[in-house]
Chain A
């Protein structure tokens, strides 16, 4: 497969865009696209102070790297969750976040949950009896709380997270399965600031998880590869696997799922009962059945079309 820009050997193929690029052009394309999304969704400007939530994983480190390459004023925030499970998961992810910050001369704020609240995440989860035996719900809750606290206390204009399209599609899929309309109505690339809550943005929301992995590999960014030991068997991973099977057979399915949702949400019609359907119906001049089409109903138009083709 060849790079669409230079004809050289392609390293990344994005079937949903029908676009293959070599490493060099891929590394140019990613920041260009990120900038486009930042502007399209009015996430932030070059005059604002950004706090990037950094976990040591591919998405957050990739995001930080892209924002800095684009010239944004972006500092990092690492939350020490105290997850060990015999592999020193938090220690290693902290090391990689520090390594990236030091290599690029960037400022990284570090907050240790155990130091702040007396217990690491697994113990908080266990003692609070939240999350049905898994600490993921408590972890998510603590992260959202602490990210907002630090962004607000340190005067950042906006909090940026590394959520990619697979994250967004998995959340959307889960909330759609249960028709959680109040949560569906909140999901989007930007959560505006409200009283006490910092603006939250997701500049990677239109990149596949695969693309973020490719970006880190191509840029030589060392990230924590091992999965969080508690993530195994999680619902979000299960949904991602399902969606990837769909994507393999139908390239672009994940992107369409997410973008059509955003369009529906933006239009203001999501979950609003429309009583206008009846109002717009009128009898088809040919068959008399109700139709919303301006003239003949779809069936009569189809028959007319077939008849005209047959006659000619």
Chain B
């Protein structure tokens, strides 16, 4: 058993006992760019991930039609 991190349709596995922040670094996800939820509740960077945890990572970046000339 380990911890599963899901970002969009990609699944990553990390060892349990790590903090969320360390787990994100491990899978090369910029912490500022996601919000993590476990069982529907938001969790923070210092949360220790337990064996069997499934953490859903919600990407926060959106955009595309932003005009670089002045929004």
What are 18 A-B interface contacts by the 8 Å CB criterion?
A1-B46, A13-B45, A20-B44, A139-B64, A163-B66, A163-B71, A171-B66, A191-B70, A210-B32, A210-B33, A214-B35, A217-B42, A231-B63, A234-B63, A235-B68, A240-B63, A245-B30, A247-B32
Verify B60–A209 contact, CB threshold 8 A: yes
**Complex: A218 Cα to B43 Cα, angstroms:** 12
Verify A230–B58 contact, CB threshold 8 A: no
Q: Which secondary structure characterizes the binding site on chain B?
A: loop
Chain A, residue nearest B37 (CB): A217
Chain A residues within an 8 Å CB radius of B65: 136-137, 139-140, 143, 228, 231
Taking A183-B70, A210-B35 as known contacts, 18 extra A-B pairs with beta carbons closer than 8 A to each other, sorted by chain A number, are: A11-B42, A11-B43, A12-B42, A136-B65, A139-B65, A140-B67, A161-B71, A167-B71, A171-B66, A178-B68, A183-B68, A210-B33, A234-B66, A241-B30, A241-B61, A244-B30, A244-B33, A247-B32
**Complex: A57 Cα to B66 Cα, angstroms:** 14
- Chain B residues near A (Cβ < 8 Å): 30-33, 35, 37, 41-46, 58-71
Given contacts A248-B30, A248-B32, contact A171 B64 (CB under 8 A): no
CB distance from B41 to the nearest CB of A (A): 7
A174 at the interface (CB under 8 A from B): yes
Q: Which secondary structure characterizes the binding site on chain A?
A: helix
Verify A171–B71 contact, CB threshold 8 A: yes
Chain A residues within an 8 Å CB radius of B60: 209-210, 212-213
**Complex: A234 Cα to B71 Cα, angstroms:** 14
**Complex: A214 Cα to B60 Cα, angstroms:** 9
Counting from the closest, the 10 A-B pairs by CB-CB distance are A231-B64, A174-B68, A244-B32, A236-B66, A139-B65, A140-B65, A236-B63, A213-B60, A140-B67, A11-B42
**Complex: A210 Cα to B62 Cα, angstroms:** 10
A98 at the interface (CB under 8 A from B): no
**Complex: A218 Cα to B41 Cα, angstroms:** 9
A292 at the interface (CB under 8 A from B): no
